[in-house]
Amino acid sequence: METLLYSAINDMSQQEQASQLLKKYDIKVKLTCEDRVWYLDFQQSAVNVIQAVEEHEVAVFISGDEEVITHLLKGEDFLLAMSKRGDLIADGALKYLLWLEALFYLYYPKKSH
């Protein structure tokens, strides 16, 4: 899971289209997958995984099992649709959730079969 997370962040950060979208907000996201927690810092056209932040600094909380988070990071499903179905928990302002959905879904490089 950690390898996939870092790969998705790296791929997203290197895409020109994503960099334009990344400039829109500076936020922190808490991503929980089973017993693991990552903090994603979206700031100034970059995405970094940071060790810890104060809970009040986190704008979005996402939590789910490994299979669901994998689908999210690979852009195979929509963040809000998975949340509505109860597959994962996504909590935060709607503008941030939609923004993250666009980043994960639209800008993850699709693998050709």
Domains of the chain in sequence order:
2-107 (3.30.1050.10)
Using pLDDT thresholds of 50, 70 and 90, give the confidence band for residue 110.
low
Cα–Cα separations (whole angstroms), residue 107 to 10, 36, 89, 110:
11, 24, 22, 8
For residue 107, pLDDT beyond 70: no
Distances (CA, A) of 12 to 25, 37, 53, 58, 85: 15, 20, 22, 20, 26
Residue 86's pLDDT is 98
Q: pTM for this one?
A: 0.87
The mean of the pLDDT values for the chain is 88
Distance CA 60, CA 32 (A): 11
